[in-house]
Amino acid sequence: MNLIYTSDQQELIDAADSFFAGEHTVEYMRNLLESDASDDTQTLWNNFAELGLLGLVAPEENSGLAQDFSVMAGIAEMAGNVALTEPLIEIAGISVPVLAQMGATDELNAVISGDLKVLPVCGLSGMVSHADTADMFLIGEGGKARLLDKSDVTLTPLKSIDPLRKLYKVSHAGDGLEAIDQRGAILNASFLCGLSKRMVTLSVDYAKDREQFGKQIGSFQAIKHQLANVHTQIEFTRPIVQLAATQNGRCVHQAKVSSIDTAMLAAETAIQVHGGMGYTFEVSLHMFMKRAWALCGEWGDRNHHINILETMILADDAELGPGTTFSY
Amino acid sequence: MDAVFSDSQNQFRQEVRDWLSANVPGERLPSLDTQKGFDLHRAWEKKLHAGNWGMVTWPEEFGGRGCSLTDWLIFEEEYYRADAPLRVSQNGIFLLGPTIMEYGTDEQKERFLKPMAAGDEIWAQAWSEPGAGSDMAAIRSKAVRDGDEYVISGQKIWSSRAVFADWCFGLFRTDPESSRHHGLSKILVPLDSPGLTVRPIAQLDGDPGFAELFFDEVRVPVSNLLGPENGGWGVAMATAGFERGLLLRSPARFQAAAARLVKLYKQNANRLSSGIKEQVLQAWGDTERFTAATYALVAQVDSGASISSEASANKIFWSEMDRTMHRTAMTIMGMHAELEEGDGAIENGRWLDGYMFSLAGPIYAGTNEIQRNILAERVLGLPRQ
Ligand SMILES: Cc1cc2nc3c(=O)[nH]c(=O)nc-3n(C[C@H](O)[C@H](O)[C@H](O)COP(=O)(O)OP(=O)(O)OC[C@H]3O[C@@H](n4cnc5c(N)ncnc54)[C@H](O)[C@@H]3O)c2cc1C
CATH, range A7-179: 1.10.540.10
B140-144 contact pairs (CB < 8 A, 24+)? B140/B173, B141/B170, B141/B172, B141/B173, B141/B215, B142/B172, B142/B173, B142/B174, B142/B176, B143/B172, B143/B173, B143/B174, B143/B185, B143/B187, B144/B174, B144/B176
User: A231 CB near a chain B CB, below 8 Å?
Assistant: yes
Q: In whole angstroms, what is the distance from residue B105 CA to residue B102 CA?
A: 9
| Residue among B94, B95, B96, B134 to mutate when testing ligand 1 (max atoms within 8 A of CB) | B134
Separation CA A204–CA A198 (nearest Å): 10
What is the CATH T-level fold of the domain B123-231, as seen in this structure?
Answer: Butyryl-CoA Dehydrogenase, subunit A; domain 2 (2.40.110)
Chain B CB within 8 Å of residue A3 CB: yes
| B256, B265, B290 ranked by CB distance to A236: nearest | B290
Please, which residues 69-98 of chain A have a Cβ atom closer than 8 Å to chain B? 70-71
- Are A239 and B372 in contact (CB < 8 Å)? no
| C-alpha–C-alpha distance, residues B282 and A200, integer Å | 24
pTM: 0.97
Q: Residue B366 Cα, ligand 1 centroid: separation in angstroms? A: 6
Continuous H helices in chain A: 7-23, 26-35, 42-50, 69-81, 88-90, 96-102, 105-112, 178-209, 221-235, 238-246, 250-274, 285-296, 302-313
Put simply, the answer to whether A228 touches B372 (Cβ < 8 Å) is yes
Tens digit of pLDDT at every position of chain B (385 positions): 999 999 999 999 999 999 999 999 999 999 999 999 999 999 999 999 999 999 999 999 888 999 999 999 999 999 999 999 999 999 999 999 999 999 999 999 999 999 999 999 999 999 999 999 999 999 999 999 999 999 999 999 999 999 999 999 999 999 999 999 999 999 999 999 999 999 999 999 999 999 999 999 999 999 999 999 999 999 998 876 665 556 678 999 999 999 999 999 999 999 999 999 999 999 999 999 999 999 999 998 888 888 778 889 999 999 999 999 999 999 999 999 999 999 999 999 999 999 999 999 999 999 999 999 999 999 999 999 8
Cβ–ligand 1 distance for B205 under 6 Å, the answer no
Instruction: Spot the catalytic one: B243, B310, B341, B347.
Output: B243
Domain range summary for chain B, segments of one domain joined by +: 7-88, 123-231, 249-379
The pLDDT, as a whole number, for residue A327 is 73
C-beta of B357 in contact with ligand 1 (< 6 A): no
Q: Is A311 on the interface with B (CB under 8 A)?
A: no
In ligand 1, which atom is closest to the CA atom of B357? 1
pLDDT at residue B306, rounded to an integer: 80
Contact call for A218 and B293, based on CB within 8 A: no
- List, in order, residues 6 or more apart from B181 with CB less than 8 Å away: B136, B137, B233
Contact B382 A207 (CB under 8 A): yes
* Residue bearing the CA closest to ligand 1, atom 51: B364
Q: Does domain A186-313 have CATH number 1.10.10.410?
A: no
- From the candidates B268, B371, B382, B385, which should be mutated to test the interface with A, based on the most A CB atoms within 10 A? B382
What is the pLDDT at residue B308?
79
Hey, of A1, A304, A328, which one would you mutate to test binding to chain B, going by the most B CBs within 10 A of its CB?
Answer: A1
User: Is B123-231 in the same CATH topology as B7-88?
Assistant: no
Residue of chain A with shortest Cα separation from B253: A322
Are B196 and B214 in contact by the 8 Å Cβ rule? The answer is yes
Q: How far is B312 from chain A (nearest CA, A)?
A: 9
Interface contact A223, partner B, CB < 8 A: yes
Name every chain A residue with its beta carbon within 8 A of the beta carbon of B284: 313, 320
Question: Which residue ranges of chain A lie beneath pLDDT 70?
Answer: 36-39, 328
> Is the complex ipTM higher than 0.90?
yes
- Residue B132 Cα: closest atom of ligand 1: 26
Amino acid B302: pLDDT: 84
Query: Rounded to the nearest whole angstrom, what is the distance from the C-alpha of residue A60 to the centroid of ligand 1?
Result: 57
Nearest CA to ligand 1 atom 16: B364
Contact at CB, B299 and A257, closer than 8 angstroms: no
* CB contact (8 A) between residue B3 and residue A321: no
Atom of ligand 1 nearest to the CA of B91: 8
> A224, B376: Cβ pair inside 8 Å?
yes
Closest Cβ–Cβ partner in A225, A306, A324 for B376: A225
Strand-pair category, A136-141 with A118-120: parallel
SS3 sequence of chain B: CECCCCHHHHHHHHHHHHHHHHHCCCCCCCCCCCHHHHHHHHHHHHHHHHCCCCCCCCCHHHCCCCCCHHHHHHHHHHHHHCCCCCCCCHHHHHHHHHHHHHHCCHHHHHHHHHHHHHCCCCEEEECCECCECCCHHHCCCEEEEECCEEEEEEEEEEEECCCCCCEEEEEEECCCCCCCCCCEEEEEEECCCCCEEEEEECCCCCCCCEEEEEEEEEEEEHHHEECCCCEHHHHHHHHHHHHHCCCCCCHHHHHHHHHHHHHHHHHHHHHCCCHHHHHHHHHHHHHHHHHHHHHHHHHHHHCCCCCCCCHHHHHHHHHHHHHHHHHHHHHHHHHHCCCCCCCCCHHHHHHHHHHHHHHHCCCCCCCHHHHHHHHHHHHCCCCCC
Q: If you count residue pairs, one on A and one on B, with CB atoms under 8 Å apart, how many are there? A: 176
- Closest residue in B to A224 (Cα) is B376
Range B249-379 has CATH code 1.20.140.10: yes
Give yes or no for A236 touching B (CB within 8 A): yes
DSSP letter, residue A132: G
Fold of B7-88: Butyryl-Coa Dehydrogenase, subunit A; domain 1 (1.10.540)
Q: What's the gap in Å between A276 CA and the centre of ligand 1?
A: 36
In whole angstroms, give the CA distance from residue B141 to residue B152. 7
Tell me if residue A174 falls in helix, strand or coil. Answer: strand
Which residues of chain B does A223 touch, with a Cβ-Cβ cutoff of 8 Å? 382
Residue B371: how many CB atoms within 10 A of its CB?
Answer: 25
Question: Is B320 labeled as catalytic in the residue annotation?
Answer: no
DSSP structural state of residue A95: I
Nearest chain A residue to B288 by CA distance is: A325
* Residue in A2, A235, A258 nearest the CB of B2: A2
Residues 6+ apart with CB under 8 A from B68: B57, B302
Candidates B240, B289, B292, B268; CA nearest to B347 is B268
pLDDT reported for residue A8 = 97
CB B328 within 8 A of CB A247: no
Q: What is the pLDDT of residue B313?
A: 94
The domain spans of chain A are 7-179, 186-313
